[in-house]
Structure 1
Amino acid sequence: MSHLFSNACLGELTLNNRIVIAPMCQYSADAGKATAWHRIHLGQLAFSGAGLMIIEATAVEDIGRISPQDLGLWNDDTEAALRTILEDIRQYSPIRIGIQLGHAGRKASCAAPWAGGKQLSEDAGGWQTIAPSSLAYSEEENPPCAMSNDDLHRVKTAFVESAQRAVRLGIELIEIHAAHGYLLHQFLSPLSNKRTDEFGGCLENRMRFPLEVFKAVREAVPDTIPVGVRISATDWVDGGWDVTQSIAFSKQLALLKSAYIHVSSGGLSQQQKITIKAGYQVPFARDIRQQINIPVIAVGLITEPQQAESLLQNGEADLVALARGILYDPRWPWHAAAELQSKVQVPPQYLRSEPHGVKGTLESND
């Protein structure tokens, strides 16, 4: 039997296979509110047959958005907009749905990628950013304001309140975003965190705020809701955050009952030097998995079904996440099931779509 299509557990949540749709920013919200784009985008992915779909990085406060078009979950309006979309999806798909909660920190207030991705001035619809220290992401950008104790308290509270909104929406899993150079990653990395108080300096101090945020969220939601963390295992810069520190952070998260660690990399510094190849981040997931006793999700140019199957069988990860690949091929799990002689659940309306040579790989989700 294919390991990719076996059941997996994240905390108390059972998935019917080990394929995860990773959170992918769409830059298509209206003042934080989900739009018709999200209904179409999430709806098609909900028919993919994946075991879990994680909604894109969702800002916990308005100034935590990467762009003015980022999805948010910080007030009643943003909650209501997402509710209608989830209600539509659940009429037709049993897919497990999670959400990634995040704050962009110094990488906020930017144009969408297809509009150049550069930082926006306040005159152009941007805003003053915040970060652990007053260090800009690039020389062309205005520096962020170093966060005060009041800022730390407000942001932690915002994560908690957004998580509680997610629970009210019936979302089944919460992922804390501590990767890709955004706020919590900025606290972790010595390249972006130059604080001299208890939240900066040594590794223990740099981990303190991200761990406080995780602990507060974990305590604020029911035990039945798994809470996990996405990390960048390395900055890909000498002297920055690295896999050794990631292992230490993951061990602390495991002690705080994190349901899993989702292992990505990079995004903090323009000085990063990454060698891109198939599965290039999988070794980080493997190294972390060897040191902790909670599930690890691998992501990063995992494009072929046998590649995904092999890394699971080899014990390099417990689940695999797809991002750009599943945008390109939203039926990837169907094709993987056919190649690996397994089965995947689809809406009954699609059962007759199978090519003649692969009959029997699709089964109704009714």
Structure 2
Amino acid sequence: MTVTEPTASRAAQILSRPTVINGLTVPNRIAMAPMTRMFSPGGVPGEDVVSYYSRRAAAGVGLIVTEGTYVGHDSAGQSNRVPRFHGEEQLAGWAKVADAVHAAGGTIVPQLWHIGMVREQGQPPYAEAPAVGPSGLRIGADAPTGRAMTQGDLDDVIGAFAQAAADAERIGFDGVEIHGAHGYLVDQFLWGGTNRRTDAYGGDPVARTKFAAEIVAAVREKVSADFPVIFRYSQWKQEAYDARLAETPEELEAILAPLAAAGVDAFHASTRRYWVPEFDGSDLNLAGWTKKLTGRPTISVGSVGLDGEFLGAFAGQGSGVKGIDDLLDRLEAEEFDFVAVGRALLQDPEWAAKVLGGRFEELAPYDAASLKTLS
């Protein structure tokens, strides 16, 4: 890949600017996207996880968003190798991760996660826990296969997110990200395809934000006023890639406004390809529209630096290197504030340093075999 010198210097100028989320100053505009790795036996992040994150911070990533971590609710997950954000041993492991990232010059937030109806009953860490969701429906299903959440269930999950956020601040993290994307529990409430409730938590798109907004408000109450709360959301869902929460900017604004009012400091708008316009009549992507509609800082994501989207990785497909001129144009125009990099950073821990240093010729294509190791 050949990149001209002006583009190299322009990349450093645009990407290296410190940027603020609430009380946190992130040293540059490069974030590490959350990617499930499943290298934490017993839900405990070990020294290999410490090295995995700190190595990328040392190489210039300004903000690390960790892989999804299960909150303290029995139905939150379905793997003993995905890290948890509850329990003494688990939190001690995460404290080491945060300390190492800070020592390397970076900032870090955990992604707090509940998978909801994605859960298969009988799976660890709590085999007897049922799959729960707004209406007990899996994506694409017409009949319930799990349990519709009671008010007690809702209160328990809201409390679990709030406690995880309080623990994150206590052990030294710089903020939290609430996972409200990709068809997991919070997103199951936001989307009409899985939320058929007739109480206050269901109905029109604004009513369907109630659960998410209550999580945000509970988190906000448990942490310091300047502690950043990030909310990740998406239009697409696992197994429903054409799904949409909003068909127009007006519909999107109606969904985002209650979340911003509840205390979201920044939005992480998840797309599969960051360069795709979100609505007809504008080149703005989802993060761009989110910033325009809410005034909050936003993080954009989706196949950054690669010519193939992430779905191919699960089928063992690699991706070639792609230039970032369009990305720089959008950042320079303040369409969004941060760019989250996923597979390119998984492949090459030095990706940020190479881009900031103009060493584009050293960037490597993505090899799906990278998913099998933690390096």
Do they superpose with TM above 0.5? yes
Whether the aligned pair in 2 keeps the contact of 1:20 and 1:321 (CA below 8 Å) is yes
Per the TM alignment, residue 20 of structure 1 is displaced from its structure 2 partner at its CA by 0.7
C-alpha distance in structure 2 between counterparts of 1:315 and 1:243, whole Å: 23
Per the TM alignment, residue 239 of structure 1 is displaced from its structure 2 partner at its CA by 7.3
Equivalent AA in structure 2 for residue 3 of structure 1 = I
What is residue 25 of structure 2 aligned with on the other side? 14
Unaligned runs of 5+ in 2: 1-9, 279-283, 306-322, 361-375
What is residue 363 of structure 1 aligned with on the other side? none
What is residue 330 of structure 1 aligned with on the other side? 349
Per the TM alignment, residue 178 of structure 1 is displaced from its structure 2 partner at its CA by 0.4
What is residue 242 of structure 1 aligned with on the other side? 246
Equivalent AA in structure 2 for residue 292 of structure 1 = T
C-alpha distance in structure 1 between counterparts of 2:33 and 2:273, whole Å: 19
Whether the aligned pair in 2 keeps the contact of 1:55 and 1:99 (CA below 8 Å) is yes
What is residue 186 of structure 1 aligned with on the other side? 188
Range moving further from structure 2, 211-220 or 56-65: 56-65
C-alpha distance in structure 2 between counterparts of 1:223 and 1:237, whole Å: 36
> Among 185, 203, 215, which residue is 1:201 paired with?
203
Whether the aligned pair in 1 keeps the contact of 2:27 and 2:106 (CA below 8 Å) is no
Q: State yes or no: 1:63 paired with 2:75.
A: yes
What is residue 336 of structure 2 aligned with on the other side? 317
What is residue 143 of structure 1 aligned with on the other side? 145
Residue aligned with 1:23, SS: coil
Range moving further from structure 2, 92-101 or 332-341: 332-341
Per the TM alignment, residue 339 of structure 1 is displaced from its structure 2 partner at its CA by 2.2
Per the TM alignment, residue 89 of structure 1 is displaced from its structure 2 partner at its CA by 4.2
Correspondence 1:153-232 to 2 at 5 A:
153-232=155-234
C-alpha distance in structure 2 between counterparts of 1:340 and 1:292, whole Å: 36
C-alpha distance in structure 1 between counterparts of 2:257 and 2:207, whole Å: 15
Per the TM alignment, residue 97 of structure 1 is displaced from its structure 2 partner at its CA by 1.1
Equivalent AA in structure 2 for residue 260 of structure 1 = A
Provide TM-score, normalisation by structure 2. 0.78
What is residue 95 of structure 2 aligned with on the other side? 83
Provide TM-score, normalisation by structure 1. 0.80
Whether the aligned pair in 1 keeps the contact of 2:44 and 2:89 (CA below 8 Å) is yes
What is residue 251 of structure 1 aligned with on the other side? 257
What is residue 50 of structure 1 aligned with on the other side? 61
Q: State yes or no: 1:279 paired with 2:290.
A: no
Instruction: Evaluate the alpha carbon distance shift between residue 255 and residue 136 of structure 1 in structure 2; reply closer, same or farther with a 3 A threshold.
Output: closer
Per the TM alignment, residue 233 of structure 1 is displaced from its structure 2 partner at its CA by 3.3
Instruction: Evaluate the alpha carbon distance shift between residue 84 and residue 198 of structure 1 in structure 2; reply closer, same or farther with a 3 A threshold.
Output: same
Residue aligned with 1:213, SS: helix
> Among 290, 296, 303, which residue is 1:301 paired with?
303
Instruction: Evaluate the alpha carbon distance shift between residue 252 and residue 325 of structure 1 in structure 2; reply closer, same or farther with a 3 A threshold.
Output: same
C-alpha distance in structure 2 between counterparts of 1:165 and 1:278, whole Å: 32
Residue aligned with 2:15, SS: coil
C-alpha distance in structure 2 between counterparts of 1:335 and 1:37, whole Å: 23
- Aligned-residue sequence identity (percent) comes to 28
Whether the aligned pair in 1 keeps the contact of 2:274 and 2:300 (CA below 8 Å) is no
Per the TM alignment, residue 340 of structure 1 is displaced from its structure 2 partner at its CA by 8.8
Unaligned runs of 5+ in 1: 110-118, 266-275, 342-366
After the TM superposition, which segments of 4 or more aligned residues of structure 1 sit over 4 Å from their partners? Answer: 119-127, 234-240
What is residue 345 of structure 1 aligned with on the other side? none
> Among 128, 136, 141, which residue is 2:130 paired with?
128
**Deviation by residue 1:282-333 (Cα, 9 ceiling, x = unmatched):** 6112222221211111100121443332210133211111111111121111
C-alpha distance in structure 2 between counterparts of 1:328 and 1:136, whole Å: 32
Instruction: Evaluate the alpha carbon distance shift between residue 279 and residue 136 of structure 1 in structure 2; reply closer, same or farther with a 3 A threshold.
Output: same
Instruction: Evaluate the alpha carbon distance shift between residue 65 and residue 37 of structure 1 in structure 2; reply closer, same or farther with a 3 A threshold.
Output: farther
Instruction: Evaluate the alpha carbon distance shift between residue 152 and residue 191 of structure 1 in structure 2; reply closer, same or farther with a 3 A threshold.
Output: same
Range moving further from structure 2, 41-50 or 3-12: 41-50
How many aligned positions are there?
A: 321
Per the TM alignment, residue 200 of structure 1 is displaced from its structure 2 partner at its CA by 0.7
Per the TM alignment, residue 121 of structure 1 is displaced from its structure 2 partner at its CA by 5.6
Per the TM alignment, residue 259 of structure 1 is displaced from its structure 2 partner at its CA by 1.1
C-alpha distance in structure 2 between counterparts of 1:171 and 1:102, whole Å: 16
Q: State yes or no: 1:40 paired with 2:44.
A: no
Per the TM alignment, residue 164 of structure 1 is displaced from its structure 2 partner at its CA by 0.9
C-alpha distance in structure 2 between counterparts of 1:108 and 1:206, whole Å: 21
What is residue 351 of structure 1 aligned with on the other side? none
Instruction: Evaluate the alpha carbon distance shift between residue 167 and residue 239 of structure 1 in structure 2; reply closer, same or farther with a 3 A threshold.
Output: closer
What is residue 261 of structure 1 aligned with on the other side? 267
Per the TM alignment, residue 125 of structure 1 is displaced from its structure 2 partner at its CA by 5.3
Whether the aligned pair in 2 keeps the contact of 1:132 and 1:192 (CA below 8 Å) is yes
Q: State yes or no: 1:97 paired with 2:108.
A: yes
